[in-house]
Structure 1
Amino acid sequence: MNYIEREQLISVLYRHRDTQSVKVLTGVRRCGKSTLLRHYADKLLADGVPERNIFVKRFDSFDMPLGYSAEQLYRDLRNAAETSESGTFYVMLDEIQEVDGWEKVVRRLQTREHTDVYITGSNAYLLSGELATYLAGRYVEVPVYPLSFREYASYVAQRSIRESQDQSFARYMMFGGMPGLYSDGAPEDLNQTKAQEILSAIYESVVIKDVATRYGIRDLATLEKLSRYLFATSGNLFSTNKVVGTLKSAGIGITNLTADNQIDALEKAFIIYGCEQSRLRGKELLRPQRKYYPVDNGFRNLAHGFDGSDQGAQLEGIVYMELRRRGYSVSIGTLPDGEIDFVARRGSEKIYIQVTLNMTDENTRARELAPLQKLNDAFPRMVLTLDHFGLGVTDEGITIRNVVDWLLK
């Protein structure tokens, strides 16, 4: 099996190594959390940490006994800690939400001296309820997303595959960055049939295990129709009334409340992310709308049968997820007479971003620049495009940049 280096995430774990905070790795199922944790354990061994000082357990594996309890976990941890050598005792609990009552075990671990704890989970439930109460202010969340284009391109380069950056990006844009797509074969061998099989299996696993089972949703057919609708229409302003009407016209009965609850469950499973409108000038919006984006562009194309349609929306989704990956909170900027695709904030930083396939057409160029030209603060303004021409800085100080170069920076 091929391992794809994720240096940035490894560096985040190292930065928090041997601190008292519990490290909580969250992300959609099969995005690489387990592999990342295993690779981190290997690095600790290479650093000289004794093997008996690293306790790793994956709770969704075939080898895990059915009905494994918090009491059994506590006993196993005590036995392992008693036989460990001097120095830090590292504990890595993968997909811990599979164990009922696990929160109390983690809380006790957090109070033990010279113990460094890492846990992973595929649902936002991990950071709610009892754990948030037990560990308030004593944990750090490490979001794990599917492969960035930079990680994917690095993997392609390591394999000495002869193709241009644009060719690599075209494949990434079509199939996405779920690690399972590339773990058992060369990227150039990936085709629509294989991608559909792998992504469909991941999607079904998320919908059944992390959404339907977790939240007691029995109507799987409606849940599947709703989630695929969100994938297929990503990048469009969302209206609950509209989606309920669309599903009803297709013979699927669903209420507004049910739709909202199911969307909330999909968000908590990290398979979709909502981006809300925010007013840049004038009064605050009383009822801000949202756009939804799948965690990985491959899911959008899965919903469309990989027909490559609406590449502008695809590109927008890739940029949105990259901004989240870089630690920004992201909203849609609304003006009285226009919209800015993304307003990205990170601490005191703020940047306005427009996303478009090309800027060569004068009408398109004028349309994309117009909302940015209406802003009068000093924060950076940028247009990201697939174009290689017409890049640079406008007279108004707006940067026009190739999106592939931006993704690789």
Structure 2
Amino acid sequence: MDHRLRIALESQNPWWFEKAFETGVERLSYFPQIEATMEAREVLLLFGARRTGKSTLVYQIIRSLLERGVAREAILFMNLDEPFFFSMADDPALITGIVEDHIARHPHVERFYLCIDEIQNYSYWAQAIKTIYDTKSTVKCILTGSTSSLLQRESSRLSGRYFSCTVYPLSFEEYLRFCGVAHPTVVERRQHLEDYLKFGGFPRVVLEEQEGLKIQILKNYYETIYLKDIIFPNRLRNNSDLVDLLYYLISNVGTTLSYNRIADGLQISTDTVKEYIEYAEDAFLLYTVMKFDYSVKKQVANPKKIYALDTGLVNAVAFTFSENAGKLLENLVYIALRRKHGGIYYHKDQYECDFLVKSGRTIVQAVQVTWSLKEESTRKREIRGLVEAMDAYTLDEGVIVTASESEELVVDGRAIHVVPLYEWLDA
């Protein structure tokens, strides 16, 4: 093995030499499916935007393995985002060669754990991992990636050989743990929730004490995501169009958007709008929500709603908290729903309901979001939109999430639970 490669590997695997390594604030307990797959042969794929904590989770997995008595030399880690490895991305024998060399050096080890960070940076990753899986039964692969198409494009190669898990920024419960709040009172939950709405749940941002630095870090994250995971991998030349589109979308989270109108407003083609939004979704920066319809064709044809990965990004890049706190609240509710459920849609007929939760082929939950119901016109609008959705999908109960208000209502024989966000997130 080339000595430079050996040095690079040794610097990334401090446990080989019984040196300490940083594992951050405990998060592994929030991912029981990870622990459940560790003894299975299948590859574990951890997906999510940059800086959401995927690398830290891998280090926590490594720490857990060492605590269980796994030999230090049985764990091989590579961060392919580092310049030395990034420069070798087009070498088809890189990973298999490293693995074979490491196995040969440690013939007494019965089971190896291969951990690779930012696997999408390696051009031949799918071929290499498939080869290792098929020929090295003693190797367990644990991979992280920052683009969702990583799996979509290569899924046929790894079919039946992997488990996947999406890593989001911190949930509110994780956020409280990072802040050192073990058993928060209602007052404490409300106080912390305002900061959570303002600055989001990226772990590094949560741990930063200075508000000015929080905003700067978030801006840096935003630029890194659109440069490394949108512009570079898709080889986009006209960066200004992408920047303008992303800014427009993040400034309009929760708003019903027409691709044609966006194209006209930004003076770019509709196909370009669709393409760039797909790239942003692929990088986990943005999510589109479709209007629910039992006809898939109608779902696709109808206007979409856009939500961002993290409310902190919206606050740092597009508008401040005080300008549109209600939209940040709605965005946060969407991300919380997305963590728990697969299919999220919105309802629109005569009136509108923000979110529908689909299980199988059935709508099982309707959720409306508003900062406050104190204004009578707002109260009427939110209730009639929710009731229309409940009627349309035969739901006996519905929820209105607010900033701080709670109430129990019965409208047309249907129960409506008005729940403050800090309580709803705890449900």
The answer, yes or no, to whether TM exceeds 0.5 is yes
Q: Is the 8 A contact 1:330 1:343 kept in 2?
A: yes
**What are the Cα deviations for residues 370-404 of structure 1, in whole angstroms up to 9, with x where unaligned?**
23323341464211112234257775222222211
d(CA) in 2 for partners of 1:273 and 1:177?
Answer: 17
Q: SS at 1:300's partner residue?
A: helix
- In structure 2, do the counterparts of structure 1 residues 209 and 406 end up closer, same or farther at CA, with 3 Å as the change threshold? same
Q: Is the 8 A contact 2:26 2:60 kept in 1?
A: no
Question: Is residue 419 of structure 2 the alignment partner of residue 381 of structure 1?
Answer: no
Q: Is the 8 A contact 2:260 2:270 kept in 1?
A: yes
Aligned positions of 1:87-236 closer than 5 A: 87-111=110-134, 112-129=136-153, 131-158=154-181, 164-183=188-207, 185=208, 189-191=209-211, 193-236=212-255
Paired residue for 1:251? Answer: none
d(CA) in 2 for partners of 1:64 and 1:142?
Answer: 25
Amino acid at match of 1:110: Y
Q: Is the 8 A contact 1:41 1:54 kept in 2?
A: yes
**What are the Cα deviations for residues 64-87 of structure 1, in whole angstroms up to 9, with x where unaligned?**
462253412111111223316444
- In structure 2, do the counterparts of structure 1 residues 379 and 37 end up closer, same or farther at CA, with 3 Å as the change threshold? farther
Q: What is the aligned counterpart of 1:300 among 314, 317, 326?
A: 314
Amino acid at match of 1:264: E
Question: Is residue 363 of structure 2 the alignment partner of residue 341 of structure 1?
Answer: no
Q: SS at 1:55's partner residue?
A: strand
d(CA) in 1 for partners of 2:406 and 2:145?
Answer: 43
Q: SS at 2:357's partner residue?
A: strand
Identity %: 26
- In structure 2, do the counterparts of structure 1 residues 125 and 15 end up closer, same or farther at CA, with 3 Å as the change threshold? same
Q: What is the aligned counterpart of 2:55 among 5, 25, 34?
A: 34
Amino acid at match of 1:190: Q
Amino acid at match of 1:255: S
- In structure 2, do the counterparts of structure 1 residues 379 and 396 end up closer, same or farther at CA, with 3 Å as the change threshold? closer
Q: SS at 2:291's partner residue?
A: strand
**What are the Cα deviations for residues 259-283 of structure 1, in whole angstroms up to 9, with x where unaligned?**
22111111111100110111379x9
d(CA) in 2 for partners of 1:142 and 1:286?
Answer: 26
d(CA) in 1 for partners of 2:337 and 2:222?
Answer: 23
d(CA) in 1 for partners of 2:161 and 2:23?
Answer: 35
The answer to which of 160-169 and 174-183 deviates more is: 160-169
The answer to which of 46-55 and 268-277 deviates more is: 46-55
d(CA) in 1 for partners of 2:228 and 2:143?
Answer: 18
Amino acid at match of 1:216: R
Q: Is the 8 A contact 2:51 2:202 kept in 1?
A: yes
d(CA) in 1 for partners of 2:262 and 2:72?
Answer: 53
Q: SS at 1:113's partner residue?
A: coil
Q: What is the aligned counterpart of 1:78 among 90, 100, 109?
A: 100
d(CA) in 2 for partners of 1:236 and 1:65?
Answer: 39
User: CA shift at 1:9, angstroms?
Assistant: 4.2
Aligned positions of 1:262-281 closer than 5 A: 262-279=276-293
**What are the Cα deviations for residues 91-132 of structure 1, in whole angstroms up to 9, with x where unaligned?**
111101111211111002222323321111111231132x21
- In structure 2, do the counterparts of structure 1 residues 260 and 138 end up closer, same or farther at CA, with 3 Å as the change threshold? same
Q: Could you list the runs of 5+ residues in structure 2 that have no partner in the other structure?
A: 1-21
Paired residue for 1:4? Answer: 25
User: CA shift at 1:306, angstroms?
Assistant: 2.6
Question: Is residue 24 of structure 2 the alignment partner of residue 24 of structure 1?
Answer: no
Question: Is residue 333 of structure 2 the alignment partner of residue 319 of structure 1?
Answer: yes
Q: Which has the higher contact order (CA 8 A, sep 6+)?
A: 1
Paired residue for 2:34? Answer: 13
Give aligned pairs, total.
396
Q: Is the 8 A contact 1:232 1:301 kept in 2?
A: no
Q: Is the 8 A contact 2:96 2:128 kept in 1?
A: yes
Paired residue for 1:291? Answer: 305
Q: SS at 1:212's partner residue?
A: helix
d(CA) in 2 for partners of 1:15 and 1:353?
Answer: 32
d(CA) in 2 for partners of 1:20 and 1:61?
Answer: 28
User: CA shift at 1:157, angstroms?
Assistant: 3.0
Q: SS at 1:279's partner residue?
A: coil
Q: Give TM-score scaled by structure 2 length.
A: 0.85
Question: Is residue 260 of structure 2 the alignment partner of residue 241 of structure 1?
Answer: yes
d(CA) in 2 for partners of 1:280 and 1:101?
Answer: 40
Q: SS at 1:360's partner residue?
A: coil
